[in-house]
Structure 1
Amino acid sequence: MGNQSNIVKKLSSSDYKNSTKEALWELNAVLMSHHLLDFIGDIKFRQAIQGVLCRGESYHQLRRVIAKSHGRNFRGSSDNQIMNWNECARFLTNCIIYYNATILNDVKLESDSVEDFKRSELIKRFSPSGFSYLNFQGKFAFLNDTEMNDMNALMKRLYKVKL
């Protein structure tokens, strides 16, 4: 058994065929077969994988909505501006998901603490990447006031909503 650097050297070698590569290809085939059999035979495993794929797709859907905002006028004319815009859009996407996840987590914790398990189970089905309530069109002014959003007040209002 070799250490990591030896394996990387052998895999990076110019030889198309060597025993280490062939062994790793065989191991990969075995693991892929095992994964495929699990996927076929276990409904919960299949549902979990499909859920992860849907979450990934919803991330990209939110990312596309942000990219299309303001008629794509934020793109830029140079490579650096385009790269900067894409990084900002990814950052904004992650901020929205974090904000939603924080809200959903707080509502779920409150539901669990008052033993409202029906509401708690319903909250589990909501996606942190949901954005139907957001408006990405128009002009926005940031940092006009120094007041931060009061998350506790928002949570209190959300607890009162009947689901």
Structure 2
Amino acid sequence: MGEIEVAIGILHWFGMNLAPRFTNLHAQLKHLYRGPDQEGYADFLIQPVGQIDRHLIAVEKSNLDHIAATLGLKEMSQSVLVRKICTLSGHHRTRKALFEYDKLIRTIYTLRYLRNPQLQRDVHRWENRIESYHQLRSTIAQVNGKKELTGRTDLDVDISNQCGRLIANVVIACNSMLLSRLLGRCMPTGNDKALDLVRRISPAAWQHLHFLGHYAFRDKRNPLDLEAVLAGIGWE
């Protein structure tokens, strides 16, 4: 077991949800666990593979709270902390409680995912957006033929990474403004074909951009003329 196996539980501590997409739903049946009532599942179509030790989670709550506080105060990164926990003996009570808690949260999410087709579609869209963003970042990083971050020191690499993030965010912000203008232009016309096309365009698209072109930094007195950019776009 490693960091991935406990990520769902750890994020749940901080009010966030890790919502993975399951490509093989049948395989997820091996990760469904139950409470103490074994007889209550006798007639269920999907059978749990084991029991969650909720008592252990309750007993180890103070230690789990300490782990959460360590992460919340950023005294240690999640990857480092989880690696340390995973080096402990499999019989270590706090380690076992952490994985038991993750089983609980993962089981709840998996059951919701299996029962809710809309959640499955939403997760699919979210992951596609994340993938689009990563592709945009990769394209920016490879400008001038470079395939990785530049810099000789950790600070130089971090600056290079943050510059890439800034450019990507500017691209997404600009695309969002353009798409909002297009959407506002299409809605009064009742052109369903145009509306559907606009809604399918990703704000992370970059095929219309030339990253080796001229970068113009404007102030509030000389904003980007969005209407001029969209002047040549029409709908049949």
Q: 2:114 matched to which residue of 1?
A: 40
Give the Cα separation in 2 of the matches to 1:7 and 1:48. 31
Counterpart residue type for residue 174 of structure 2: Y
- Counterpart secondary structure, 2:204: coil
Q: Identify the structure with bigger relative contact order (alpha carbons < 8 Å, sequence gap 6+).
A: 1
Q: 1:135 matched to which residue of 2?
A: 210
Contact 1:39 1:45 (C-alpha < 8 Å) held by counterparts: yes
- For residue 65 of structure 1, the aligned residue among 133, 139, 142 is 139
Give the Cα separation in 1 of the matches to 2:234 and 2:106. 46
- Counterpart secondary structure, 2:93: coil
1:90 equivalent in alignment to 2:165:
yes
User: What's the CA shift for 1:107?
Assistant: 1.0
Tell me, which stretches of 5 or more residues in structure 2 are unaligned? 1-61, 71-84, 86-91
Give the Cα separation in 1 of the matches to 2:229 and 2:67. 57
Give the Cα separation in 2 of the matches to 1:98 and 1:118. 24
Give the Cα separation in 1 of the matches to 2:204 and 2:138. 12
Percent of aligned positions that are identical: 23
CA change 1:106–1:12 in 2 (3 A) is: closer
Which has the larger share of helix? 1
1:17 equivalent in alignment to 2:89:
no
CA change 1:120–1:37 in 2 (3 A) is: same
Deviations 1:24-72 (A, max 9, x none): 7555433322321232333322121011111101101100110111122
1:75 equivalent in alignment to 2:150:
yes
How high is the TM-score relative to the length of structure 2?
0.53
How high is the TM-score relative to the length of structure 1?
0.73
Give the Cα separation in 1 of the matches to 2:67 and 2:174. 45
Aligned residues: 154
Please give the root-mean-square deviation of Cα atoms over the aligned residues, in Å: 3.5
Give the Cα separation in 1 of the matches to 2:154 and 2:67. 37
Give the Cα separation in 1 of the matches to 2:215 and 2:228. 23
Tell me, which stretches of 5 or more residues in structure 1 are unaligned? none
CA change 1:26–1:113 in 2 (3 A) is: farther
